[in-house]
Amino acid sequence: MGQGGGGGTGGAGEDEPGACPGDPVADPSLVRGGCGIFVSASAAPGGDGTKAAPFQSFAQAVAKLQDAEAQRIYACAEVFTEKVELSGGIRIHGGLDCANG
């Protein structure tokens, strides 16, 4: 028989995603998979929102965040021409140098 799982911890504050509390500007280690969804206007079609295969649009990222605990979008420093409506709690962190990691 299996053992019971450990209990979870309390949620993060209202301003911090539960999966990765902190500020990605102050702590660049938070700019990673599991802490947000990646978007690049120049990405190849069919991306999954990871750093290695970002989505091409914010709309794709917002749709993916509906099922994610972390409510961050990491955007490459590129020109995006779409309009998108963000629901409460979603934060965009832009200007990332995605070409150089």
CA 91 – CA 101 distance, rounded (Å): 20
- Domains of the chain: total: 1
The whole domain housing 39 covers 28-100
Q: Which residue has the higher pLDDT, 24 or 101?
A: 24
50 falls within a domain? yes
pLDDT band at residue 61 using 50, 70 and 90 as cut-offs: very high
Alpha-carbon separation of residue 98 from 40, 53, 77 (angstroms): 8, 11, 7
12 falls within a domain? no
pLDDT at 49: 94
48 falls within a domain? yes
Q: Are 55 and 38 in contact (CB under 8 A)?
A: yes
Tens-place pLDDT, residues 5-39: 333 333 333 344 456 888 888 998 889 988 899 99
Whether residue 57 is predicted with pLDDT greater than 90 in this model: the reply is yes
Q: What is the pTM of this model?
A: 0.76
pLDDT at 1: 41
How many CB atoms are closer than 10 A to CB 42?
Answer: 11
Tens-place pLDDT, residues 90-99: 889 999 888 8
Tens-place pLDDT, residues 69-81: 668 999 999 999 9
Average model confidence (pLDDT) across the chain: 80
Q: Are 71 and 49 in contact (CB under 8 A)?
A: no
8 falls within a domain? no
